[in-house]
Structure 1
Amino acid sequence: MAQTADLDVALKALADPNRRAILTVLRPGPHAVGAIAEEVGLSQQTASHHLRVLREAGLVVGTREGRRHLFAVDTGGLDAVRAFLDDFWPSRLAALKAAVEGDRG
């Protein structure tokens, strides 16, 4: 049941386009809140709100470096989403294989 809760929280966080944009900004490495806000075109307050939601969903981690608060992607937070989506592939690949082999015959 915990994995289902993790999946729900992660998918809800990922449903917002601003949060997906923030994750894209963070993909290459850690960024400060101000840099994230500027790159995504949000106020620092709005970016901080979205970062808090992403952190609570386990999708980002935050660290302090002096006065700066840096955020980075936490790929472990995507495990529940990945596991959910991975369950679709075996049946889909089998259907594709059957379709391809059916076309040959």
Structure 2
Amino acid sequence: MNKDYSRAIPAAWRDVSAVFAALGDEHRQRILLTFEAGERLNVGQIAEVSTLARSTVSHHLKVLREAGVLSAQRQGKEIYFSVNTHFLQKAFARVSDYLETRL
């Protein structure tokens, strides 16, 4: 048993922890799955196909952006979101590496 991490997540895992926390909500998972490869969407486009109110979608987008799951880019008055693929690949590679060492 490794007791080193029983009280705190190591710094190298904080981003992974934030991703898991953000994706722990089914609504946020559905928002993430709304994006096609390379697609950029604004809150209105996502709310249009969602069962959630626009303000609720905005809240979930903020959580996903703060966790690094989505990137945001302002274009005029709109903010467009896209999947932060590079960040997610690095985070999940860290999880995969951890699992590989346990085999």
TM-score range, shorter chain: 0.7 to 0.9
Q: Would you say how many aligned residue pairs link Structure 1 and Structure 2? A: 92
Inter-partner Cα distance in structure 2 for 1:15 and 1:67:
30
Inter-partner Cα distance in structure 1 for 2:17 and 2:101:
23
62, 70, 73: which one pairs with 1:63?
73
Note the residue ranges of structure 1 that are not aligned, 5 or more in a row.
93-105
24, 40, 54: which one pairs with 1:44?
54
Q: What TM-score do the two structures reach when normalised by structure 2? A: 0.77
Write 1 or 2 for the structure with the bigger share of helix: 1
In the TM superposition, 1:89-104 aligns within 5 A as 89=100
Structure possessing the higher radius of gyration over alpha carbons: 1
Q: Give the ranges of 4+ consecutive aligned residues of structure 1 lying more than 2 Å apart after TM superposition.
A: 85-92
Which residue identity is paired with 2:19? A
Amino-acid identity (%): 36
Note the residue ranges of structure 2 that are not aligned, 5 or more in a row.
1-9
For residue 64 of structure 2, give the secondary structure of its aligned residue in structure 1.
Answer: helix
Deviation (angstroms), 1:75: 1.3
Which residue identity is paired with 1:81? F
Q: What TM-score do the two structures reach when normalised by structure 1? A: 0.76
Deviations along 1:26-61, one digit per CA (max 9) or x if unpaired, are: 233001111111212211110110011011101101
Deviation (angstroms), 1:3: 2.2
Inter-partner Cα distance in structure 1 for 2:56 and 2:85:
23
Deviation (angstroms), 1:25: 1.2
Which residue identity is paired with 1:27? E
